[in-house]
Amino acid sequence: MDLFDPGQLDPAGNPTQIHDFNPGTIDSGPAAGLFWTIHIPTHDVHVDLDRATATMRVTDLEVEDYHTIKNALLDGPSDPASVSFVIRWQGVKARVEVRDFELGFAGRFIEDSATVEWSASVPSTGFSFRSDPASTSTTTFAEIGSERNGVFFHGGA
Amino acid sequence: MNDHAGEVPAAAVSRRQFLGTAGVTGAGLALGSGLLTPAAAVAGDNGSTVLPRPIPSGFVTPVGVFIHHHPPGRGIEASQITDFKGTIGLAQLSGTGTGTINGKSTTLNFELDNRFMQGTYVGVDGKRHRGTFGFI
C-alpha cells in the first residue's frame, strides 16, 4: 500500500513515493519467497460468487513502512507500522475462465469494480494517514473468483 | 531478464509501474529479501496458521530481485500461494487521502494492489489446511 506526495515531483513530474506498507518477504525455510503475504482471520473475508460480491476488512495489521518500493524489494531500513482497510468488490464487467498448463493453475474470475477506505500509522515517526471516502477511490483492475494451482491443478482435485 | 537496477528511480515510480513492467519468467530462484515473517504463526480463532509455500512463478524486478508474484491483469495467476484451492480477490486501486505528521496535514495520493486467498492449501508441513491470507 503506497503513498505519494504530489507536492514532491521527480524530474519526470511524477509524485514521489514516501511510504510503502507491506508485511515483508520470507527469506528462508520451506516458505522462502512468500511475498508480502500474511495470514489473516477467516472472518476478515466474505465472498459470495453467486452475487459477485466480496469484502475484505482488515484491522490493525502489523506491517513495515519501507518508504519506497525499491527499498522494500531490497529489504532496506523500515519502520514498524499498522494498516486497516476495507475493500469491497461488486459488479460484473466480464467473466474469464483460465487454464494455464505452463504455470499450472486454473481459475474462474469475475472482473469487477472495487472500492477501498484505509488508514495507516507509523508510531515511531508520528505519521498517520486516512484515505478519502471509499466512493472516491478508482479501480485500475479488480476481480474475484476461484482458483486452483499446484497439486490441486495437476491432480485435478 | 536483465537487471535494470539504477535505471529506475524507485522513489519516483509507483508499485504498478515498478512491478508491472517486468515480464513473467516462469519458475525461478527465490531471491526475495525479508524482514518480518509473514503468515507466521498468528494465533487465530479461525483458519490454519501453518505457512503456505509461494507460487513457483513470478518475475525479476528492476532491482534484480525475483518475486513470486504476478502484476494485476486479465488471466494472471492471482494467488500468492501454491498448492491452493479456493477463492481469491484482487483489487488494484488508487485515490487520495490525508497524511499527518507533527500536526501538519498534507494531501497524498495512494496506490495499492491488495488480494485475499481463502480456502484449502498444502502447508510447509505437507498437510492440507484451511486458511485465509492477504497480500498487502
In a domain, B84, yes or no: yes
Q: C-alpha distances in angstroms, A71 versus A65, A79, B11?
A: 10, 12, 9
Contacts of A82 in chain B (CB under 8 A): none
Instruction: Report the distance separating Cα A29 and Cα A26, nearest Å.
Output: 8
Q: Render pLDDT for A50-109 as a digit per residue (tens, 0 to 9).
A: 999 999 999 999 999 999 999 999 999 999 999 999 999 999 999 999 999 999 999 999
Residue whose C-alpha cell reads 477501498 in the numeric block: A116
Nearest Cβ partner for B93 among A104, A109, A116: A116
CB contact under 8 A, B75 and A96: yes
A134 torsion bin: left (phi>0), alpha (psi -120 to 50), beta (else): alpha
Structural domain harbouring B34: 10-135
Whether residue B55 lies inside any domain: the answer is: yes
In a domain, B5, yes or no: no
Write the pLDDT tens digit of every residue in A6-38: 999 988 899 999 999 999 999 999 999 999 999
| Domain total of chain B | 1
Percent of chain B with pLDDT over 90: 64
> Do the beta carbons of residue B72 and residue B61 sit within 8 Å?
no
* Run of H or E including B122: strand B104-122
Q: Does the residue B4 lie in any domain?
A: no
Segment B38-64 shows an average pLDDT of 78
Q: Which of A1, A17, A35 to mutate to test the interface with B (most CBs of B within 10 A)?
A: A35
Domain ranges of chain A: 2-26+33-154
Inter-chain CB proximity B38 and A85 less than 8 Å: no
Cross-chain CB nearest to A131 (options B97, B120, B132): B97
Per-residue pLDDT at B28 exceeds 50: no
Q: What's the ipTM?
A: 0.96
Report the residue from A6, A26, A142 with minimal CB separation from B91. Answer: A142
Query: Chain B contact for A82, CB < 8 A?
Result: no
Taking only the tens place, the pLDDT of each residue in B60-92 is 999 999 999 999 999 999 999 999 999 999 999
